[in-house]
Amino acid sequence: MFKRERKEKKIIKKMRNDRERTLFAVLKKGELLQYANKRFQNDKEIVFEAVKEDGLALEFASKHLRDDKDIVMRAVKSNGYALEYASDRLKDNRKVVKTAIKDNGLSIMFASKRLKNDKQIAMLAVAKHKGAYRIIGKQVQKDADIVLQLVDKNFAFDDLKKKARKKLANDKDFMSKAVEINPYLLMYASDKIKSDKDIVLKSVEGDGLCFGFADKSLKKDKDFVLECALKDSRVLATLYDDDLYGITKREMEKMGVSFRKYSNEEIEREM
């Protein structure tokens, strides 16, 4: 390690006023641009080769070249985080920001406020890295299409911002698509959505125990309960054992619904 450091110091010393040596150095290690003469930090060929080798070397380029689209595009292509060192003008350039996001979705944190709130840009970022949801603009954090990209078997509404939770919990189209991916999301739905037969049925198709999140009015609807039980007999395990809201065992058998009593431990384990 010490030998390498001594070697780098010799290279740095020799490259300060020598263009060819500076170019050779950054071709091998882009970050050495920080030790270059300011004249060479403003040399487009040298800087281009430096950011090609290490995008983050853009930090050491001149202010003029950090506003050069060719240089910045090459830098963010190498490392999306290089967007941090781009000029404000290029942080607001769609092509530059998209290129940065393709390398790393989290690089959207360095984009302009306008582009952080651009739906297309935000969707690209979240698709690349789900953690980008926390740093996209507030306007698009409530967008159903963007949030759907987050939904998987482990997704919970707690991952969303408060205003987004409130809006989407009452969005029928969003919840209909969401419960198909993760049926347990029915628990976060508004009362209006929990009383929607189509959505509850989709949730039950994913897991019968999710019927426990349905509105009470649906649990008292004998025909609907049986319809759901045909999808998954565990629906009946979510009802009170004393009368199952008037559904008899004979009715269950007639409908072809198999029923057995589940213990609380079994229900908790399966949920």
Quick check: 266 pLDDT over 50? no
For 8, 32, 41, 207, the CA distances from 46, given in Å and listed in that order, are 18, 11, 7, 60
The pLDDT of residue 128: 95
Q: What is the rounded distance in angstroms from the CA atom of residue 100 to the CA atom of residue 106?
A: 9
Quick check: 2 pLDDT over 70? no
The pLDDT of residue 267: 41
pTM of the model: 0.78
Which span out of 4-8, 19-23, 54-58, 139-143 was modeled with the highest average pLDDT?
54-58
Task: Categorize the per-residue pLDDT at 158 as very low, low, confident or very high, splitting at 50, 70 and 90.
Answer: confident
Quick check: 15 pLDDT over 90? no
CB 237 within 8 A of CB 261: yes
Tens of pLDDT, residues 201-223? 999 999 999 999 999 999 888 88
Quick check: 176 pLDDT over 80? yes
- Rg over CA atoms, the chain: 29
Nearest to 188 by CA among 169, 211, 168, 214: 169
How much is the mean pLDDT over the chain? Answer: 87
Q: What is the rounded distance in angstroms from the CA atom of residue 229 to the CA atom of residue 221?
A: 12
SS3 173: helix
The pLDDT of residue 250: 61
